Structure 1
Amino acid sequence: MEIITHDIADNDLVLASRWTEIRAIREGKLKVADTLLEAAIDAGFSEAPFRQYRQALRDIPQTYSNPEDVVWPQKPSLPQASV
């Protein structure tokens, strides 16, 4: 009979829960990024920084092995219209 300690199981549950939280935050950030990308396209601004931001968000689970190490990419902003 194999004995499983609660510490290991608890740590795995905490890790899985934290990744679920990270993915939920990322989904919200991706929705905002999609809106920014559409606004940039509509305004004729360069799409590159917005596409790079979206890709960096999508790459979070592959970039980090520990959810505690996640550093969110800097969200680009749309240039202000000149008056």
Structure 2
Amino acid sequence: MEIITYDATDSDLVAVSRWTEIRAIRDAKLKAADKLLETAIDKGLGETAFRQYRQALRDIPQTYSNPEDVVWPQKPSLPQASA
């Protein structure tokens, strides 16, 4: 078994760990966004805002170079049912 060593600094290790956390949060938000989009489609609502939200979530790792700078996109809401 080969042992691989890296010359990673503590800062590098923290950044890698933080990106792992960011991706896990993003993945959970994407699952919720998928359900939200399905609900919007089922109700015959416009899909654009929901699709844009999902795309913004997918783009997080490419949009930000520092995990501490990540700003989560605003989740669109479904209209409230009228009485």
Structure 2 length-normalised TM: 0.89
Gaps of 5+ in 1: none
Could you tell me the percent identity over the aligned residues? 78
Query: What does residue 65 of structure 1 align with?
Result: 65
Q: Shift of residue 18 of structure 1?
A: 0.3
Could you say which structure has the higher helix fraction? Answer: 1
* 1:1-83 correspondence to structure 2 within 5 Å: 9-83=9-83
Detail structure 1 runs of 4+ shifted over 2 Å in the superposition. none
Gaps of 5+ in 2: 1-6
Aligned to 1:52, the other structure's residue is in SS state helix
Structure 1 length-normalised TM: 0.89
RMSD across aligned C-alpha pairs, in angstroms?
1.0
Distance in 1, Cα, partners of 2:82 & 2:12: 52
